[in-house]
Amino acid sequence: MDKNCLFCKIIKGEIKAKIAYENEKVFAFYDINPQAPTHVLIIPKLHISGAPEIDDNNRTVVSDLIIAANEIARQSGIDKTGYRLVLNCGPDAGQAVFHLHLHLLGGRKLNWPPG
């Protein structure tokens, strides 16, 4: 836990968010500024600043996030129509919050390449 981290505060309930899913290792909540009909952020309960911090010591975190995302996609009814999983890494990708978060986007046709 990082005292100054927005997403750690959301996990602790200090900042309110609409919860989409939770298990022992993972927390997921609806994005405050949704870019698609379904837009959920899936985060590890452990504070990790972003995907560039993933290495051999914490590699299972990534699969925990993806397994949770797939479950949320099923719950949201977008598993058959499709969805996008996004990890923004650093300034050029527009990463604004430095607690690892996997974006789950779906419920509409998504453009490629992204902006």
The catalytic residue positions are: 101
Token pair in block for residue 70? 């797939």
51, 68, 69, 99: residue in contact with Zn ion (rule CB under 5 A): 99
In whole angstroms, how far apart are CA 19 and each of 30, 55, 75?
Answer: 7, 28, 13
Cβ distance to ligand 5GP smaller for residue 26 or 56: 26
The entry of ligand 5GP, Zn ion, none near residue 99 (CB within 5 to 8 angstroms by kind) is Zn ion
The maximal CA–CA distance of the chain, rounded, in angstroms, is 39
Structure tokens at 39: 């837009």
* Angstrom distance (rounded) from CA 14 to CA 86: 26
Looking at residue 16, the DSSP 8-state letter turns out to be: -
| Partner in contact with 22, chosen from ligand 5GP, Zn ion, none, beta carbon below 5 to 8 Å by kind | none
Number of residues binding to Zn ion, judged by CB under 5 A = 6
Q: Measured from the CB of residue 5, what is the shortest distance to Zn ion in angstroms?
A: 3
Interface positions, 18-57, toward Zn ion (CB under 5 A): 47
